[in-house]
Every structure is written in C-alpha cells, then in structure tokens.
C-alpha cells in the first residue's frame, strides 16, 4: 500500500483527488491539506510514501516546500500552469499532472508511482539463524516480524496481509509461495490457497475451519486437508 497525502489550497481539488485515490486499491489517503505549512507535522507523525502537491499556492509554494524537505517522500506535482513542469522534474518528481486532472491521467500517474516503488522494493530479508523472526518490506520500510506474533497470513492479490497479535496487520508486496518458503515448516502450514496459519496459535477447529478470536473463520481446502489432518492426528490426545 502506498501511503499518500494531498496538498492543495483549493477545497474542490482536494475532494477530487480524494475521490480518485479511493478508486485505486494500492493507494491509501492519509491526509488532505490546504497548505504545505500543515504538512510538516503529518510527515513527522507517520510514514508517507507519496505526496500530490499543488505548485502555485499562497504562503508556501509547492516547489519551495519540497526543496526544503530533507529526504522527502516521492512527489507528483499538480498545477494549472505548464511553465512549472521543468522545475518539478528538477526535484525528482515522479510526474506532473496538469489541471483539470481527469481520472485516466491520475491513474497513469499513480501506476508510474507504483512501478517506481516496486522497482525499489525487494522481497523478504533472510530469516535469522535462530528462526525467530524475519524482515519484510512494508510501506517501503523494512519491518521486523516475530514468528510468535503471527496469527495467520492472508493472500490479497499481489500482496500478503500478515495478521498479528496485539497490533494492526502488515501488508507486503510478496507472493504467498515466497513467504511460505521463509517460514519454519514446523510452525506454519498452508491450509488454503489464500491462507497460511501459525499452528501454535490454533485453539479452535470447527467444521473444517480454523477459528481465530471467535469470529475469524479460515477454511481448510481439500488440497491441504490431508496434511492438516495428519498434524491434528499427531497432536490429538
């Protein structure tokens, strides 16, 4: 997921950009800001990967704002004035959207950003020698994940969603097969095309489904049923 903010002094432009972001599954809107002066606190408070920044704004010009940042997120500039295009690319902007912005142009720009991030993101870092944790790329950061904290892993198109105990899930751009190969086989098992479970976290099995937290039902598919049943039989009292 690419976490982004939009900075534009026009409320209607902010609303339009918000509606566009909602249509694109790999974008997450963190904040809509009417001035670049408000962006500093947002950038400090959370990981922001991408900014859509209007150039011609009062108080603080969008170009000047980006130039003043140390290690800024990636930027896509938006403006009604074509003369700013060259200046935008001088600060390594990913793209330049000319107002009025139509959705096809926005989508093309968003895909360009996605391609950039995917090019600069790799798969999981190797598991440590004691097999207690691994590192994964998530939101273009490297995140340590302890095996004992994983409840189950869910496939979501090109991403996996790792459901953890006591904290929010983590999304990572990696295939289930790649991740499965990094997990210790004595603790994790693929039970469905879309699910890997932490065997040590299983407490309830109901009608061929694994139940987490009394409300999450994970099916065991026919393809993996025999292997899972073998595990249950081996540990049955």
Residue 32 CB partners (closer than 8 Å, separation 6+)? 5, 6, 14, 17, 18
What distance in Å separates the CA atoms of residue 24 and residue 157, rounded to the nearest whole number? 14
In the prediction, which pLDDT does 236 show? 77
Cβ distance 24 to 114 under 8 Å?
no
| pLDDT single digits (tens) 7-66 | 999 999 999 999 999 999 889 999 999 999 888 888 887 678 899 999 888 878 888 898
**Which regions in the chain score pLDDT beneath 50?**
none
State the sign of the Cα–Cα–Cα–Cα dihedral 94, 98, 108, 43: positive
Q: Which one, of 21, 36, 33, 27, lies nearest residue 3 by Cα? A: 27
Q: What is the CA radius of gyration of the chain?
A: 22
In the prediction, which pLDDT does 136 show? 84
Edge-to-edge strand list for the sheet holding 204-206: 204-206, 209-212, 216-219
In the prediction, which pLDDT does 121 show? 60
In the prediction, which pLDDT does 17 show? 97
Q: Which one, of 226, 124, 217, lies nearest residue 176 by Cα? A: 124
What distance in Å separates the CA atoms of residue 99 and residue 120, rounded to the nearest whole number? 29
What distance in Å separates the CA atoms of residue 50 and residue 28, rounded to the nearest whole number? 10
What distance in Å separates the CA atoms of residue 119 and residue 129, rounded to the nearest whole number? 28
Strand 2-7, strand 50-54: pairing: parallel
In the prediction, which pLDDT does 4 show? 94
Task: State pTM to two decimals.
Answer: 0.55
In the prediction, which pLDDT does 89 show? 57
Q: Dump the DSSP string for 29-45.
A: EEEEES-GGGHHHHHHH
What are the φ and ψ backbone dihedral angles of 61, each rounded to 5 degrees?
-65, 140
Tokens describing residue 96: 């330049």
In the prediction, which pLDDT does 202 show? 92
What are the φ and ψ backbone dihedral angles of 96, each rounded to 5 degrees?
-140, 115
Q: Enumerate domains of the chain plus CATH numbers.
A: 2-119 (3.40.50.2300), 133-234 (2.40.50.1020)
């Amino acid at each position: 997921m690419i976490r982004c903010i939009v900075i534009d002094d026009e409320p209607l432009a902010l609303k339009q950009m918000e509606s566009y972001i909602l249509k694109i599954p790999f974008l997450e809107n963190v904040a809509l800001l009417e001035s670049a002066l408000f962006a500093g606190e947002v950038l400090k408070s959370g990981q922001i990967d991408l900014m859509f920044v209007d150039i011609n704004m009062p108080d603080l010009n969008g170009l000047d704002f980006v130039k003043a940042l140390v290690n800024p997120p990636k930027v896509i500039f938006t403006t009604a004035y074509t003369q700013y295009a060259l200046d935008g690319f001088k600060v390594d902007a990913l793209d330049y959207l000319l107002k009025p912005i139509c959705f096809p142009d926005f989508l093309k720009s968003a895909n360009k950003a996605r391609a950039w991030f995917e090019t600069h993101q790799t798969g999981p870092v190797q598991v440590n020698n004691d097999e207690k944790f691994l590192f994964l790329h998530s939101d273009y950061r490297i995140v340590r994940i302890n095996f004992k904290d994983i409840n189950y892993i869910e496939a979501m198109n090109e991403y996996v969603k790792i459901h953890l105990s006591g904290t929010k899930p983590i999304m990572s751009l990696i295939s289930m097969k790649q991740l499965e190969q990094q997990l210790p086989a004595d603790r994790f098992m693929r039970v469905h095309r879309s699910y890997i479970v932490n065997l040590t976290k299983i407490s309830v099995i109901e009608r061929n489904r694994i139940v987490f937290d009394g409300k999450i039902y994970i099916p065991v598919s026919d393809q993996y049923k025999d292997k899972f049943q073998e595990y249950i039989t081996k540990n049955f009292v």
